[in-house]
Amino acid sequence: MSDDIIDVGPDPRADGLKTWGWVSYVLHVIVAIGAVVPGAQPSLALLLLALVIDLVKKGDAEGTWQASHFSWRIRSVMWAGFWYLVTSPLWFFFVLPGMLAWAVVSIWFLYRIVRGMVAMNDAKAVNA
């Protein structure tokens, strides 16, 4: 026999992880757009649901290109949450700077989610 590489077809594990990744990205993008668009405030429950999906499925993705996406989304949520907390006192003392700070965090979060979605669509790992 030869040492040729045999194409065994699609990897069901990879397809399942990609499906979970898309579910998470869609939930994140709904929250991210809602944070940027005035008056459109989606539930915090959507963000928490997406975060739980990522935390639960992250271990299944180890060793695959999708692992970077699970870490990417988790880090995005954690950093956004951190910056929202850090800038929240601005709302109590100076409303306009608070609004501007939260707008910047929200736009940054939306950018991260869209950047991850583009990479996942191209079947590529997302780099920090």
- Is residue 93 scored above 50 in pLDDT? yes
- Quick one: pLDDT at residue 78? 95
What's the domain range around 69?
A: 13-121
pLDDT in tens, 17-61: 889 999 999 999 988 888 777 666 677 888 899 999 999 999 999
- Quick one: pLDDT at residue 13? 67
Determine, yes or no, domain membership for 65: yes
Determine, yes or no, domain membership for 18: yes
CA distances from 83 to 67, 89, 109 (A): 24, 11, 11
Q: Total domain count for the chain? A: 1
107 vs 95: CA distance, rounded Å: 18
- Quick one: pLDDT at residue 37? 75
pLDDT in tens, 104-128: 999 999 999 999 999 999 888 898 6
Determine, yes or no, domain membership for 126: no
Determine, yes or no, domain membership for 71: yes
Determine, yes or no, domain membership for 8: no
- Is residue 6 scored above 80 in pLDDT? no
Determine, yes or no, domain membership for 5: no
CA distances from 121 to 42, 55, 73, 114 (A): 25, 21, 15, 10
Determine, yes or no, domain membership for 4: no
- Quick one: pLDDT at residue 7? 37
Determine, yes or no, domain membership for 6: no
* DSSP state string for 24-80: HHHHHHHHHHHHHSTT----HHHHHHHHHHHHHHTGGGTTSTTHHHHHHHHHHHHHH
